[in-house]
Amino acid sequence: MHVEVRGLNKHFGDFHAVKDVNFGITKGHLIGLLGPSGGGKTSILRMLAGLETPDSGDIIFHGQTVNSLPPQERGIGFVFQNYALFKHMTVYENIAFGLKVKKASKTAIRDRVAELVELTGLKGFESRYPHQLSGGQRQRVAFARALAPEPQLLLLDEPFAAIDAKIRQELRSWLRELIERVGITSIFVTHDQDEAIEVADEIMIINQGRLEQKGTPWDIYKEPKTPFVATFIGESTLIESASELKGFEGAGGGKPTKALIRPEYIEVGSLHEFKMASATEQGTVKHLHFRGSEWLVEVEVNGNKLVTYRSLEKETLQVGQGISVLVHRAYLFNDNRSWIQENRLKEDPMPVFI
Ligand SMILES: Nc1ncnc2c1ncn2[C@@H]1O[C@H](COP(=O)(O)OP(=O)(O)O)[C@@H](O)[C@H]1O
Ligand SMILES: [Mg+2]
């Protein structure tokens, strides 16, 4: 199902929880709704589901406004973190529940449950009760139950939040494959960026009720539209004044401008390694972490801690060693705008090594 949301707003008393949110979701896509707690993610989902009424705005499924449709007529399946299974019902009965409500025939129910038990890897568990299952198995029953009535849209609100890290990892790839196989349009809410990046086709970053950016994880990482998005996705260090950095003097035309530095924006080397002395900073190695295929280097420059990677092929650095740091580029922002800027003092796009 194609989903479109236009000008969505929601207040709780005086509090403006969802602020003029607009987006469209292509049929069959899995969208990650990512953002800090309290940002409005659950409120958006609840409005899509019809469990909450928007103050203004339209929710459009398949080109049809559904604002006045009750939840059960919207063709939606839910899996919520604490949307418990029915304790007194077996796995079979839990999965069959939605079909019984719809008054499907006994044979239709039996066939559909068998299909879902197969799809979710729950064969042999049909007659167990929820307390006889692990957390991961229970969430799989919750998925099967949500999918049974063949919804057009699947809403998942932090479905793995209560599950151990290791199992959560397995469930992520399992979910990704399941949704691909079923081909259902899905929205997956999480506050965990790794989870969103791994699972979703596209991510929507939600902060303080606003949709800050929508795009593929790579697009968002590469071209963050707001400082919030830049700091929220990926690793970075914030430098209060960009002008302090060599090659970035006067950045922002004299307006106070901050710089965000990602690990791949900088390069470190022993003092004789770079030729472009005018463009390099002096720093001290604070920590070195061997990561199997490279070094993760923490370096202090003018009181700022920067993090970067260094190839194993290069000369090995030592903790406490004075080194050169070349800031190739930085993500700069002030009150007006944000942009990525190259180091102006670099004569050459590539550093020259001796
Ligand atoms: N029913 C409600 N009544 C009052 N405030 C609410 C209600 N639901 C959510 N809120 C408030 O709206 C904000 C957004 O909440 P929510 O949508 O649950 O965010 P998220 O899911 O991103 O953590 C929070 O500050 C929350 O306290
Ligand atoms: Mg929530």
Which pLDDT value is given to residue 348?
Answer: 54
Residue 257 corresponds to which tokens in the numbers above?
A: 């401008």
Q: How far is the CA of 72 from the centre of ligand 2 (A)?
A: 21
Q: What is the DSSP letter of 121?
A: T
Kindly report, residue by residue over 42-64, the tens digit of the pLDDT.
999 999 999 999 999 999 999 99
Nearest CA owner, ligand 1 atom 1: 12
Of 14, 33, 42, 55, the residue with max ligand 1 atoms within 8 A of its CB, to mutate for a pocket test, comes to: 42
**83 band by pLDDT with thresholds 50, 70 and 90:** low
Report phi then psi at 181, rounded to 5.
-65, -45
**Is 50 exceeded by the pLDDT of residue 322?**
yes
Q: Considering every ligand atom, which ligand is closest to the CA of 33?
A: 1
Nearest CA owner, ligand 1 atom 5: 12
Q: Which of 7, 18, 15, 20 is nearest to 43 (CA)?
A: 18
> pTM score, two decimals?
0.85
Nearest CA owner, ligand 1 atom 17: 40
Q: Considering every ligand atom, which ligand is closest to the CA of 41?
A: 1
- Mean per-residue pLDDT of the chain: 91
Kindly report, residue by residue over 122-171, the tens digit of the pLDDT.
999 999 999 999 988 999 999 999 999 999 999 999 998 888 888 888 88
Q: How far is the CA of 250 from the centre of ligand 1 (A)?
A: 42
Q: How far is the CA of 51 from the centre of ligand 1 (A)?
A: 13
Nearest CA owner, ligand 1 atom 3: 12
Which residues have C-beta under 5 Å from ligand 2, the single-atom ion?
41-42
**Is 60 exceeded by the pLDDT of residue 240?**
yes
Answer yes or no: are the C-beta atoms of 312 and 295 closer than 8 Å: yes
What is the rounded distance in angstroms from the CA atom of residue 260 to the CA atom of residue 331?
5
What is the rounded distance in angstroms from the CA atom of residue 212 to the CA atom of residue 258?
19
Q: What is the largest CA-CA distance in the chain?
A: 79
- Dihedral sign, CA of 44, 46, 48, 50? negative
| Helices and strands (DSSP H and E) totals, the chain | 8, 19
Amino acid identity at 296 = L
**Measured CA angle at 20 (ends 16, 26), to 5 deg:** 130
Q: Considering every ligand atom, which ligand is closest to the CA of 11?
A: 1
Enclosing H/E stretch for 199 = helix 193-199
Q: What is the DSSP letter of 128?
A: -
Q: How far is the CA of 220 from the centre of ligand 1 (A)?
A: 25
Q: How far is the CA of 351 from the centre of ligand 2 (A)?
A: 46
Tell me, using a 6 A CB cutoff, whether residue 38 lines ligand 1. Answer: yes
Tell me, using a 6 A CB cutoff, whether residue 37 lines ligand 1. Answer: yes
Hey, is 100 helix, strand or coil? Answer: helix
**329 band by pLDDT with thresholds 50, 70 and 90:** very high
Q: How far is the CA of 157 from the centre of ligand 2 (A)?
A: 7
Query: Distance of CA 120 to CAs 79, 125, 143, 177, 269, Å?
Result: 14, 11, 8, 10, 51
